[in-house]
């Protein structure tokens, strides 16, 4: 089995396990370089190269920096490592970006040029839904169509139908969660509100929201704080959940929540796109 096949086999395994990583691929070389076009490497979020090879220290620093940034905003990058005189001819300096290419200096004696495509591979975003309400059921189904890994947590006795979810939890005590970006919605609507809220705010997530009125959330907040829950934990919960679209039906409410989650999910990518185009 070739090294290329081994790298791609590991890519498939890590994707199936919902692990975050970067696939770096050498797409072009000029003159003498340690790695040649087609060379690949898998880079973990901690900077560890777990498989493959894209050359030595001449390119490693620039690629690892690009890998960290790509994992942070989900956007791929092209890195061009060139000797100083070649950069000067192009009118750029190490660290400059032009037409989507990040330039870096090759200080090695070989004085070769390498262009490396840095592609982030991220787990499916995780939507965790507490509750078995009609909104929760609709939210699970719609989110699955949008590529979310859906976990629905509710007492089995509350479920009138089998939800369209990747993971179903009986009750509100969740086990180990995979390392994806998480979005949490509490849609218990009167059945286990307090227990679900306690469980939800204990999970690190980019978004916490409660399906219910602001007045109801205030009352629950006061009750939970009196029971010893930290106010700042509850302050992260948005209520009511979703954008104000005038939604009435469970399906419309679920859509408004997913629209709000999408804004949060794409926030970093929008900012990165605006910075690149400015």
pLDDT (tens digit per residue) in 22-57: 999 999 988 877 788 899 999 999 999 999 988 777
102-106, 123-127, 170-174, 175-179: least confidently modelled range: 175-179
pLDDT for residue 36: 86
Q: First and final CA of the chain: distance in angstroms? A: 46
Residue 4: band (very low, low, confident or very high) from pLDDT cuts 50, 70, 90: low
- Statement: residue 74 has pLDDT above 90: no
pLDDT per position as a tens digit, 191-242: 899 999 999 999 999 999 999 999 999 999 999 999 999 999 999 999 999 9
244, pLDDT greater than 50 = yes
The predicted pLDDT at position 123 comes to 86
Give the pLDDT of residue 112: 83
Mean pLDDT estimate for the chain: 89
Burial class (CB in 10 A: 0-12, 13-18, 19+), 16: exposed
The Cα–Cα gap between 277 and 23 comes to 25
Confidence grade of residue 273 (pLDDT, cut at 50, 70, 90): very low
CA dihedral in degrees (223, 252, 261, 217; nearest 10)?
Answer: -10
pTM tops 0.75, yes or no:
no
Length of the chain: 278
- The whole-number pLDDT of residue 46 equals 92
Would you state the pLDDT for residue 272?
A: 47
pLDDT score of 184 = 97
Block residue for tokens 């060379």: 39
pLDDT for position 275: 46
> pLDDT band for position 265 (50/70/90)?
confident
Give exposure, 252-274, as e/b (b: 16+ Cβ within 10 Å). ebbbbbbebbeeebeeeeeebee
User: What is the pLDDT, as a whole number, of residue 268?
Assistant: 56
The rounded distance, in Å, linking the Cα atoms of 145 and 143 is: 5
Supply the pLDDT for residue 5. 64
Under DSSP, the state recorded for 240 is S
Tell me the pLDDT tens digit for each residue of 177-194: 877 889 999 999 888 999
Share of the chain above pLDDT 70, in %: 94
């Amino acid at each position: 089995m070739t090294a290329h096949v081994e790298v791609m086999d590991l890519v498939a395994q890590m994707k199936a396990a919902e692990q975050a990583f970067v696939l770096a691929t050498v797409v072009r070389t000029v003159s003498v370089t340690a790695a040649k076009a087609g060379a690949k490497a898998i880079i973990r979020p901690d900077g560890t190269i777990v498989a493959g090879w894209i050359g030595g220290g001449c390119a490693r620093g620039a690629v690892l920096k690009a890998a960290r940034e790509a994992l942070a905003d989900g956007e791929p990058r092209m890195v061009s490592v060139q000797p100083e005189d070649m950069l000067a001819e192009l009118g750029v300096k190490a660290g400059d970006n032009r037409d989507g290419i990040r330039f870096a200096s090759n200080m090695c004696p070989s004085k070769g040029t390498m262009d490396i495509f840095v592609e982030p591979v991220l787990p499916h975003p995780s939507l965790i839904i507490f509750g078995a309400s009609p909104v929760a059921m609709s939210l699970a189904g719609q989110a699955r169509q949008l590529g979310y890994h859906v976990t629905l947590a509710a007492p089995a006795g509350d479920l009138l139908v089998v939800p369209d979810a990747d993971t179903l939890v009986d009750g509100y005590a969740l086990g180990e969660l995979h390392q994806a970006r998480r979005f949490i919605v509490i849609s218990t609507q009167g059945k286990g509100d307090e227990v679900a809220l306690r469980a939800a705010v204990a999970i690190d997530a980019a978004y916490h929201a409660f399906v219910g009125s602001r007045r109801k959330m205030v009352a629950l907040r006061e009750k939970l704080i009196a029971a010893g829950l930290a106010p700042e934990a509850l302050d992260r919960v948005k209520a009511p959940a979703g954008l104000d679209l005038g939604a009435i039906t469970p399906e419309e409410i679920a859509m408004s929540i997913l629209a709000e989650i999408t804004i949060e999910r794409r926030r970093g990518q929008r900012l990165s796109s605006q910075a690149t185009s400015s």
